[in-house]
Amino acid sequence: MLGDLLGMNPVTIGLGIKATRKLLDERKISIMPTVVRYFTRAEDLRAWVTGSGPAGHAPATPTRQALTDPTLTGMSREALYALLEELIVPYAATIEERRHRQRGGNRRPGTRGGVFRQKITDGDRILATILYRRRVCGLDALAELFGVCKSTLWNAVRDVLPILDDRRIDITPTGHRHPTAADLLASVGADNHQVVS
């Protein structure tokens, strides 16, 4: 989403974030993640900021905030966001390396990163994989929660799992598996959020 807003690729943004984080850490400045909204599409953020969405709000989609609940991810939100920040650049680099191999070289000048708009962000792919490995629900329910088809989500999981494994990031399965997306949202007090099929 930041890439869309700023017209930059995720690797460049990731390097900027890393450098900024270092400065913030050196100066002991702490910025807590928002607990109000979590946007995955640039147009949703623009609509919310300008008040041009329905009733001045972003479209009603399953909130990623609910999906970052510690009971689902097995870690605090701060730890989750730190993990996402740690993995986003290596993930983007891995995907770009694979695309480079598939293309047989660099992108042609003036072309963008693919013809079709990505249905979920890199951060969403990592979050979905964490939830998948935690076994909080089945693949069908996860696909419903992220608003994508099952094959799209499965491709995302297959891309992210090797990165988690290479870095030896242990994601412990939960003791309770939710049968449906609605059941999962209700379990974290988010049953008022609409699930988009």
DSSP string spanning 100-131? HHHHTSSPPTT--S-SSPPSS-HHHHHHHHHH
pLDDT of residue 37: 52
Closest Cα partner for 181 from 196, 160, 165, 159? 196
d(CA 176, CA 122): 26
Reported as a single tens digit per residue, the pLDDT across 76-112 is: 988 998 888 888 888 888 877 777 777 676 655 544 4
pLDDT of residue 180: 92
> What is the maximum alpha-carbon separation in the chain?
50
Report which residue type is found at 155: N
pTM reported for the whole predicted model: 0.62
pLDDT of residue 165: 92
d(CA 155, CA 157): 5
Distance of CA 50 to the CA centre of its chain: 24
Mean pLDDT (the chain) is 76
- The residues pairing with 178 across neighbouring beta strands, listed in sequence order, are 137
Reported as a single tens digit per residue, the pLDDT across 143-164 is: 989 888 899 899 889 989 999 9
Of 34-38, 44-48, 193-197, which range is least confident? Answer: 193-197
